[in-house]
Chain A
Amino acid sequence: MGFLTDVFHWFTASAHWHGTNGIPHRLYEHTAMSLGATAAAIAIALPLGVLLGHGGRHGVGGRIGVNISNLGRAVPSLGILYFLAVAIGLRGYPGFGARPALVAMVALAIPPIVTNTYIGVGDVDPEAREAAVGMGMTGWQVLRRVELPLALPLVMAGIRTSAVQVVATATLAALTAWGGLGRYIVDGFSQFDNVQLFSGALLVALLAIVTEVVLGVVQRGLTPGGLEPRGQSGKPEAGEPAAQPAVLAPPT
């Protein structure tokens, strides 16, 4: 009980609500970093996923692209952070230590968005696609009016996964002198201040949950009416044509 009381006092102490090390400022930094990194990742990953998935998942190129993107998941964020901190330094816009963190977070956020967009766009029912072509739609129109709306739930699921990962992982940036909520965790650990450490972890967990919930609401809002929500894993239904090996898929 004593520990939780200390945590409560940490949150109610007015010193923790002012200045550059106060909760509002750290929360702002953390949110800004997460938003910026996720937005940049969307800008890179969404066109890539669309490009790979457009017209169905039967190209070898698509599989190679997604596998390369998935390899990105194996790159440790901490490794990128430390490497860039030493290689490019910590100074410069948009703040001390922010650039290595931003790059690491963008790299972290790209693979889920690429994969989900690729699967979402690529796994659109071929009959719907053929019907659109039969109606005389151009490739661009098929993409914009059929493939993208149908892929949206899966694309949003990818963005949501990335955003939550980024919120949780941006804490690492405190190891390379940047701010954010990770500051409390890293400083608390270094200063043997478990109350500060725990409070910081609590704030990060709360922010991640809020991110998950808000993006979940956005996702539901964007899902076209009448479309059954599919599993987040992007697993196609059994028997769906796309479940066959792509090389054996009949040409459209």
Chain B
Amino acid sequence: MRFNRGVAIGATVLSLALVAGACGSSGDGDKTSSGTSSTSSGPKPSIKVGAFNFSESAILANMYAKALAAKGYKTSVRANLGNREVVAPALEKGEIDLYAGYAATDLEFFNKAAGQATGDAASNATKLNAILRPKGLEALEPSPAADQNSFAVTKATADKYKLKTLSDVAPVAGQLVLGGPPECPTRPFCQPGLEKTYGLKFKSFRPLDPGGPLTKAALEKGDIDIGLVFSSDGAIVAKNWVVLDDNKHLQNADNVIPLIRTKVATTEVKSILNDVDSKLTTDDLTKLNKRADVDKEDPDALAQEWLKDHGFI
């Protein structure tokens, strides 16, 4: 086969440039903000806040950092570090001092999936602390805001069958198609749990993705009737979906919870973080996520606005 050499070289250069561009775009998001009112009571620890690779985590990290900065702490945010397999060891090694974790998922991560997590956030936090304390880490108080597995239907479906809770689905489940991740048929939180706890036997199950774009597109297009989404997903607000209440507590309570190195966890730091968390709701998170993910607003600015609205800065 013969090739036009000029075209071949041009194409090679172009593809290399694309690869280089893709590589170059990572590793941003190391912003520093310092306090304005650092007047009293000696040197305050400098705190590095880490975040997972999704926008909700970046928003939460910025909230923590800015709330602390407002009280005179020197803080920096390291966004987009990666998944928990990256972020949790970074906390243990002291590369970061704090991150916004999730009560059930972090418990199951640190206990190596021992299955201790329950639908009660406070109990998850207690168990998490028992594991974290010997490592020089601790979990603070769980927020009312949670990002956990939930099942959503469109407004039209909810109206048609008068659905508010998962229990309401039982009489009509036989007419509905469930969509979720491929592991759903074998996971207790998903199909088997829905069947056992709520008596839901669906018409069929469609293997899609864990609360991702496929599930959301399938729900929107009516390819499925009920889909697994995460409770704080911005699409819920954007598409006006109805999240069915888990009234029998099938899901683990994945409430937002700060995980922090004990060394920097002074009484004041803890009270600032707990204060932020206590005012944050799942509804707030969903709306903030919608603005970050759907409207592409800056997590940094969203955190700033929320803190201002709630009197932290």
CB closest residue in chain A, given B179:
A177
Contact of A89 among B4, B182, B217 (CB under 8 A): B217
Say yes or no: is A9 at the interface (Cβ < 8 Å to chain B): no
Q: Across the interface, do B1 and A190 meet the contact criterion of CB distance under 8 Å?
A: no
In chain B, positions 218-234 with a C-beta closer than 8 Å to chain A are 218, 221-223
Q: Across the interface, do B206 and A96 meet the contact criterion of CB distance under 8 Å?
A: yes
The interface bits of chain A over 179-192 (1 if a CB of B lies within 8 angstroms of the residue's CB, else 0) are 00001001101111
Say yes or no: is A15 at the interface (Cβ < 8 Å to chain B): no
The interface bits of chain B over 1-36 (1 if a CB of A lies within 8 angstroms of the residue's CB, else 0) are 110100100000000000000000000000000000
The interface bits of chain A over 101-126 (1 if a CB of B lies within 8 angstroms of the residue's CB, else 0) are 00000000000000100010000000
A180 smallest CB distance to B (angstroms): 12
Task: Give the docked Cα–Cα distance between A126 and B221 (Å).
Answer: 56
Q: Across the interface, do A245 and B213 meet the contact criterion of CB distance under 8 Å?
A: no
Task: Give the docked Cα–Cα distance between A193 and B182 (Å).
Answer: 12
The interface bits of chain A over 225-252 (1 if a CB of B lies within 8 angstroms of the residue's CB, else 0) are 0000000011100000001011000000
Give chain A residues whose Cβ lies under 8 Å from the Cβ of B299: none
A87 smallest CB distance to B (angstroms): 8
In chain B, positions 198-223 with a C-beta closer than 8 Å to chain A are 206-209, 213-214, 217-218, 221-223
Q: Across the interface, do A90 and B1 meet the contact criterion of CB distance under 8 Å?
A: no
Contact of A190 among B182, B217, B222, B223 (CB under 8 A): B182
Say yes or no: is B186 at the interface (Cβ < 8 Å to chain A): yes
Give chain A residues whose Cβ lies under 8 Å from the Cβ of B7: 67
In chain B, positions 90-123 with a C-beta closer than 8 Å to chain A are none
Q: Across the interface, do A191 and B186 meet the contact criterion of CB distance under 8 Å?
A: yes
Task: Give the docked Cα–Cα distance between A115 and B3 (Å).
Answer: 13
Q: Across the interface, do B183 and A190 meet the contact criterion of CB distance under 8 Å?
A: yes
Q: Across the interface, do A186 and B213 meet the contact criterion of CB distance under 8 Å?
A: no
Give chain A residues whose Cβ lies under 8 Å from the Cβ of B217: 85-86, 89
Given contacts A67-B7, A86-B213, contact A233 B1 (CB under 8 A): yes
In chain B, positions 170-200 with a C-beta closer than 8 Å to chain A are 179, 181-183, 186
Q: Across the interface, do A234 and B214 meet the contact criterion of CB distance under 8 Å?
A: no
CB closest residue in chain B, given A176:
B214
Give chain B residues whose Cβ lies under 8 Å from the Cβ of A115: 1
B195 smallest CB distance to A (angstroms): 17
Q: Across the interface, do B207 and A243 meet the contact criterion of CB distance under 8 Å?
A: no
Q: Across the interface, do B183 and A82 meet the contact criterion of CB distance under 8 Å?
A: no
Q: Across the interface, do A245 and B218 meet the contact criterion of CB distance under 8 Å?
A: no
Say yes or no: is A63 at the interface (Cβ < 8 Å to chain B): yes
Given contacts A67-B7, A190-B181, A191-B183, contact A86 B214 (CB under 8 A): yes
Give chain A residues whose Cβ lies under 8 Å from the Cβ of B208: 176-177
Task: Give the docked Cα–Cα distance between A248 and B300 (Å).
Answer: 62
CB closest residue in chain B, given A66:
B1
Say yes or no: is A91 at the interface (Cβ < 8 Å to chain B): yes
Q: Across the interface, do B214 and A187 meet the contact criterion of CB distance under 8 Å?
A: no
The interface bits of chain B over 148-175 (1 if a CB of A lies within 8 angstroms of the residue's CB, else 0) are 0000000000000000000000000000
Q: Across the interface, do A186 and B182 meet the contact criterion of CB distance under 8 Å?
A: yes
CB closest residue in chain B, given A89:
B221
Q: Across the interface, do B1 and A82 meet the contact criterion of CB distance under 8 Å?
A: no
28 sample A-B contacts, Cβ–Cβ < 8 Å, listed by A number: A67-B4, A85-B218, A86-B217, A89-B217, A89-B221, A89-B222, A90-B221, A90-B223, A96-B206, A115-B1, A119-B1, A174-B207, A176-B208, A176-B214, A177-B206, A177-B207, A177-B208, A187-B183, A189-B182, A190-B181, A190-B182, A190-B207, A191-B182, A191-B183, A193-B186, A233-B1, A235-B1, A246-B2
Instruction: Identify the A interface with B (CB < 8 A).
Output: 63, 67, 82, 85-86, 89-91, 96-97, 115, 119, 174-177, 183, 186-187, 189-193, 233-235, 243, 245-246
With A85-B217, A177-B208 given, can you name 9 additional A-B contacts, CB distance below 8 Å?
A: A86-B217, A89-B218, A89-B221, A96-B223, A174-B207, A177-B218, A177-B223, A187-B182, A246-B2
The 10 closest A-B pairs by CB, nearest first: A190-B182, A190-B183, A89-B221, A86-B217, A90-B223, A187-B182, A191-B183, A177-B206, A91-B223, A191-B186
